[in-house]
Amino acid sequence: MSSPSPLLVVGSVGLDTVETRVGKRADVLGGAASYFSVAASFLAPVRLTGIVGTDFPEAHTKLFEAHAVDLAGLERVPGKTFRWSGVYAKDFSTRTTLDTQLNVFSDFRPKLPGAWTDSPYVFLANIDPALQFSVLEQTEKAGKKPKFVACDTMNFWIEGKRPDLLKLLQRVDMLLLNDEEARQLSGEANLPAAARAIRALGPRAVVIKRGDAGALLFHEGGVFAAPAFPIENVVDPTGAGDSFGGGFMGWIARQGDTSPATIRTAMIMGSVLASFSVEDFSLERFKRLDLGQIRERFAAFADLVHFEKIKL
């Protein structure tokens, strides 16, 4: 196996206040890029681009460093760090956002450190599609087209920034979004039809995340379904989607190829990392995770979905 390629991520790094049936945590490490980076770091070297304020605790910086996440692109500016707060229904079926304070994130203009414009694998976490586009422009201006670009988005941008999002989609290889967002973006209620319509907008692959119902991949190799690993003690689902993205892209960067077979395995690796993420608040579970546990759960996944072909 060749050595893992660098994986660039751009997105939010913040402080979350989260309440679930298990308890409440205030001002803990959150943000899409945080979950993505640490999840992916088990598989490939990660380059993180984001912004935090002067109140961002040193302990969080240390966590990234402990996972060898390169922070050369993490700006620290005067002001307060992005904050988000949410509460989950008892059965985890819904989440209500209580508060979002953009703080220093509102003036975020991603700037890639010079050496990072050659990143072969890029993940544009859920931010303004115009900013996601600006990251691709920076790599292209340097004459370095990434090998594989994936992006995430959300209802807010689908409604409010559709032209920018459509322009971005022409330039990305894969879009990750949840089922409601896929319906909203495509205008199709049926998910395979929605995926077909989204692929016609540019991305050759679409991953539709369905929470504890797993994820569906639509690409040139057809359709592939990964269940969510059944976890009995869910503590906090925040960041599951971003951890999925981290496991997915981490596997691709590790393998250095984007064949349909590797992308299918990446779907399972995404589900593995997401399943660990929900077992504790914030990024706590990742602090006590290692490759051995990842290997074990991957094997348990293979058992979970294994069945024999039959002759009828």
State the residues that interact with ligand AMP by CB under 6 A: 12, 14, 16, 30-32, 84, 100, 126-127, 238-242
Please say whether the beta carbons of 297 and 229 come within 8 A.
Answer: yes
Cβ 158 to ligand AMP, closest distance in Å?
A: 13
Helices (H) and strands (E) in the chain, counts: 11, 13
Q: CB-wise, 52 or 205, nearer to ligand AMP?
A: 52
Distances (CA, A) of 242 to 54, 126, 138, 273, 279: 25, 9, 23, 9, 15
Show Cβ contacts of residue 110 under 8 Å, excluding neighbours closer than 6 positions. 10, 49, 50, 73, 131, 134, 135, 138
What is the C-alpha radius of gyration for the chain, rounded to an integer number of angstroms?
18
Is the CA virtual torsion 132, 46, 297, 238 positive or negative? negative
Q: Which residues is 225 bridged to in the sheet? A: 216
The overall longest dimension of the chain from CA atoms, in Å, is 68
Cβ 45 to ligand AMP, closest distance in Å?
A: 22
Backbone torsions φ then ψ of 308, nearest 5 degrees: -85, 145
Q: CB-wise, 172 or 274, nearer to ligand AMP?
A: 274
Q: CB-wise, 218 or 244, nearer to ligand AMP?
A: 244
CB-CB neighbours of 39 under 10 Å:
33
Cβ 89 to ligand AMP, closest distance in Å?
A: 14
Residue with the shortest CB distance to ligand AMP: 30
Which is nearest to 35 in space by CA: 69, 4, 76? Answer: 69
Q: CB-wise, 49 or 255, nearer to ligand AMP?
A: 49
Cβ 93 to ligand AMP, closest distance in Å?
A: 14
Q: CB-wise, 5 or 238, nearer to ligand AMP?
A: 238
The two beta strands, 82-88 and 95-101, are antiparallel
Backbone torsions φ then ψ of 63, nearest 5 degrees: -60, -45
Cβ 96 to ligand AMP, closest distance in Å?
A: 12
Q: Which residues is 135 bridged to in the sheet? A: none
In angstroms, rounded to a whole number, what is the distance separating the alpha carbons of residues 294 and 136?
31
Cβ 212 to ligand AMP, closest distance in Å?
A: 13
**Six token digits for residue 36:** 């993505």
Cβ 193 to ligand AMP, closest distance in Å?
A: 25
Cβ 22 to ligand AMP, closest distance in Å?
A: 16
Count CA within 13 A, CB hemisphere, residue 91: 1
